[in-house]
Amino acid sequence: MKFSFFHLMPYTHLELESHECPFPNRYFDAAKASALYRTYVESMIHAESCGFDWVGCNEHHFSPYGMMANPNLIGGALAYSTRRSKIAITGNLVPLNNPIRVAEEYAMLDCMTGGRLVAGLMRGIPHEYLAYNIPPGESWERQREAVQLILKAWTEPEPFGWEGKHFQYRQVSIWPKPMQKPHPPLLISASNADSAKFAAEMRATMGMVLLADLPSGKECIRVYREAARAGGWEPAPENILVGMHTCIAETDDEARRHLGQGLKYFDEVLMGGLQASQRIVLQKTRYFESEESRDRWKSRLDKRRTLSLDEQIERGTVLCGSPETVVKQIRRIHGELGHGVFNFTVKVGTLPDDVIRSGMELFRDRVLPHVRDL
């Protein structure tokens, strides 16, 4: 089992609930953000020495939910401060960006890290489409086309042009090209059947976060495996990433208390504006290609919101407790899902950074030795 230390990089100095969209940036304090960035990046660098195989972050816009408008900048900050861990950008929001720029920046990161990039190519959550004024109804088309274009940009031996529906380039010849051949491993979100099929089609590692329950995660993995087999390949356990909020402390009570407080900020402050904008996008557009996928998304978020922390622990959708408890939880979830990469979202809302630090060390000393060989 591989372990990934994932950071959302939230802005944690808000004392109000907001359901506005976008979240008004009059509440933003650059000096506080500057200190947060330093703390967050230092903790990501420290993750390598705590035995994490991957260190990662992702892209969000116009919200205190995550301060990584361009996660590749964080990748650059990690490139020379880490030696062994994969730098997992999970990932760039492909339909929102210039795909050639994504291909270029990822190629830079792969060279800078000596071939340690895991290249996330994500469609993004609905509210990001408001931020960049991209029609949500075109998200899937843009995603499919852009991913193919990025792969061409990485692998084509000669300069080439691209005449697509959403992207047109007369001549492409990126410098640098990626170090890993034929290209860096791909990670694509697969939290519903449509995206699981697409991830399999692209021979990407599938990623699932914020699970409502284990059976729904299991179903996505089944669809992914089936689609991969239909496409002529067999995914390894390392091709399945499952991400969960994680808090490890000396005792179960301590971990629950910290995560409970963090989740309150996460759900009430960080998710507030996002939920409002997502409702608008989901009601008014065809962000999801099928009603079934849309309903599944809504029900997943609704379920998560209404469940208590105890219920989430019981369902196996968060990791929370003493090292011994977390070992049991990891074993149980792995037994159900059979995944090969466990992605820990460690900074849940206002969960204190010193708690995260000590949790990382507990992970290294008392969790990892018991689950490494899963």
Residues that bind other proteins (CB under 8 A): 145, 148-149, 152, 156-165, 167-168, 170-171
Q: For residue 324, give every residue at least 6 positions away whose Cβ sits within 8 Å of its Cβ, in sequence order, or none.
A: 366
Cα(247)–Cα(79) distance, rounded to whole angstroms? 26
Under a CB-based contact definition with an 8 Å cutoff, are residues 55 and 88 in contact?
A: yes
Under a CB-based contact definition with an 8 Å cutoff, are residues 244 and 217 in contact?
A: no
Task: Tell me whether residue 121 or residue 240 sits nearer to other proteins (CB atom).
Answer: 121
Burial class (CB in 10 A: 0-12, 13-18, 19+), 30: exposed
Task: Tell me whether residue 163 or residue 354 sits nearer to other proteins (CB atom).
Answer: 163
Task: Tell me whether residue 103 or residue 109 sits nearer to other proteins (CB atom).
Answer: 103
Task: Tell me whether residue 13 or residue 166 sits nearer to other proteins (CB atom).
Answer: 166
Task: Tell me whether residue 148 or residue 261 sits nearer to other proteins (CB atom).
Answer: 148
Task: Tell me whether residue 164 or residue 185 sits nearer to other proteins (CB atom).
Answer: 164
CA 6 centroid distance within chain: 7
CA triple 205-220-227, angle to 5 deg: 65
The residue written with tokens 């469940």 in the block is 307
Closest CB 164 distance from other proteins, rounded Å: 4
- Three-class SS state of 27: helix
Task: Tell me whether residue 156 or residue 361 sits nearer to other proteins (CB atom).
Answer: 156
Cα(308)–Cα(360) distance, rounded to whole angstroms? 24
Closest CB 157 distance from other proteins, rounded Å: 6
Task: Tell me whether residue 16 or residue 157 sits nearer to other proteins (CB atom).
Answer: 157
Closest CB 167 distance from other proteins, rounded Å: 8
Cα(208)–Cα(187) distance, rounded to whole angstroms? 10
Closest CB 158 distance from other proteins, rounded Å: 4
Burial class (CB in 10 A: 0-12, 13-18, 19+), 17: exposed
Task: Tell me whether residue 168 or residue 306 sits nearer to other proteins (CB atom).
Answer: 168
Closest CB 148 distance from other proteins, rounded Å: 6
Q: Give the sign of the dihedral formed by CA 318, CA 10, CA 49, CA 182.
A: positive
Closest CB 147 distance from other proteins, rounded Å: 11
Closest CB 72 distance from other proteins, rounded Å: 24
Closest CB 153 distance from other proteins, rounded Å: 11
Burial class (CB in 10 A: 0-12, 13-18, 19+), 354: exposed
Closest CB 156 distance from other proteins, rounded Å: 7
Rg (CA), the chain: 20
The residue written with tokens 């990584």 in the block is 68
Q: For residue 25, give every residue at least 6 positions away whose Cβ sits within 8 Å of its Cβ, in sequence order, or none.
A: none
Phi/psi of residue 120, each to 5°? -80, 130
